[in-house]
Structure formats: C-alpha cells, structure tokens
Amino acid sequence: MSQSVGRALRIVGQLGHGPRTLDDLAQELGVHKTTVLRLLRALEEERFVRRDDRHRYSLGSRLFELGRQALEGHGVRDVALPHLERLGRDTGGQAVHLAVLEGARPVYVAKVESTSSVRMYSELGLPAPLHATAVGKVLAAELPEGRLAQVLAATDFHPFTPRTLTDPDAYRAELARVREQGWAEDAAEHEPFVNCVGAPVRDASGTVVAAVSVSVPDVILDLDGVRDLVPLLRATAAAVEADWAGRDLPRTAPPTERTPA
C-alpha cells in the first residue's frame, strides 16, 4: 500500500470516531499539516470527507453510499432477510441480527428491529466486539487455529459489563463449548440488560459464513427464557443454509425430449 493511500485511510478511520480539525488530524497521525491538508482536499473532492463552517472535518456522504452498497452486496443477507423477519415474528417481536466476520470483528449486515420499547443498541455496517457478543463467538468458534490466533491477538478484551470475558484463555474455553453445542450466548456480556443467543449459518462446504442472533432485554425474558429460543434460532439458520445452498447449486439445462424413432 502506498504511503499516501495508507494515510488517507487512517484519516477516514480517525473521522469515524467523530469530527476533527486539521490540527487534530496532523497530531493524531504524526504528519505535517500540509500533507494532511493535501489528503483532506482530495478526500473532500470525492465526498469521502466534508468540512463545516468551523473548519472541522467529518465523514462524507460518499462513504454512506458505499456502506449501503457494501451491505447490499452480501448475498447471504438477501437470502437470509425473509427468514430473519419470520424469526422476529415467531419470537414475539424480538431483535434479530445477521453478522459476518470482517477482519477481526463481526459486522452486522442485516437487522430486524424489536417491537419492544426497550431495545439494544446496534447499527448496520458497524463492527461489534468479538468477545462480548453471541455472533462474535459463533464466527470465531470454528476458525482455523492460525486465523483464530490472529483474530484474538487483534481483539481488545474490554470489560463492557461485569460478565464480559476478558481473558483470552477463558474465551477459548467458551469457544470450545460453542463448537460442542452448536450455538452461543451473550449473557449480559455486552449490555448489562440484554441477553442474546446466536447460531451459525454455513455454506455448502460446511464453513461458517455468517451468524444469526436473537437479542432480548431482561425485562422481557430472563436468560433461561432466551435460551428457550435456541430451537427457533437454529431452525432459522438451517432454513437460511438451505436457501443459500440452493442458490449456489449449478443450474443445469432441462433434459430435451426425444422423439420416437
């Protein structure tokens, strides 16, 4: 990667945390202001960043367009969405998510909103913590050892709640349990008032390509009640797999009729 491209991407990454001034960005990147200004002008011209009347820079509209296109480009999302909507109805209007692994973190690519007034926070296209979510555990559980080691090395085991797993060895033990039982849970590990269960979606080769989850505030269902939703969750994952496999099957031409000799 060229130095200029790398710096431009770092600028975009910094702006993902909120607006910055030219001085802020130069200090955070450790680069002279003239270099940062040149990159900002190029990014602004292409609408990747925008500048307000206080000379503060923020992410531009082009990124939102690309983000929408990226989400729509996940083929499994289109296949899964009708099944996710049905799962939301069958669980009494609970929040349902579909996530894929990008780099070292799960990213939500589809969401069915809860009909409850009490909701968990999540946003399409944004990463979620690998160690503190049911989808993260599902996506990590069957990674090859080398890939898993890389992912865990890149994971900040931040304690979101007193129940968050913050020790990599304890997390590995949890992944072993997920592999054995075929589903994962987030027992108030990311948000103190929300419990989640997640299950894998596999492609035709058996590789985990996504994770589907149900999230429920504890004022609606306790942890045992959320665990009772696992059969519905796994049936939904199986239905997505069946549709996904059918979509991937090679199309063969129909047999031609033979005319009698």
CATH 1.10.10.10, applies to 3-66: yes
CATH fold, domain 73-248, is: Beta-Lactamase (3.30.450)
């099957």: which residue's tokens?
A: 249
Q: Which pLDDT score is estimated for 93?
A: 92
**What is the mean pLDDT of the segment spanning 1-30?**
81
* CA distance linking residue 174 with residue 155, whole number of Å: 15
For the residues of 209-254, what is the DSSP string, one character each? EEEEEEEEETTT--HHHHHTTHHHHHHHHHHHHHHHHHHHSPP-PP
Mean pLDDT of the chain: 84
Range among 14-23, 214-223, 245-254 with highest mean pLDDT value? 214-223
66-98 pLDDT per residue, tens: 655 554 445 678 889 999 999 999 999 999 999
Tell me whether the CATH fold assigned to 3-66 matches the one assigned to 73-248: no
Q: Could you state, in order of their start, the residue ranges of all structural domains in the chain?
A: 3-66, 73-248
- Report residue 43's pLDDT band, with 50, 70 and 90 as the boundaries: confident
- Report residue 246's pLDDT band, with 50, 70 and 90 as the boundaries: low
Q: Which tokens hold the place of 135?
A: 């989808």
Which residues, 6 or more positions from 71, have their beta carbon under 8 angstroms from its beta carbon? Answer: 77, 109, 110, 124, 125
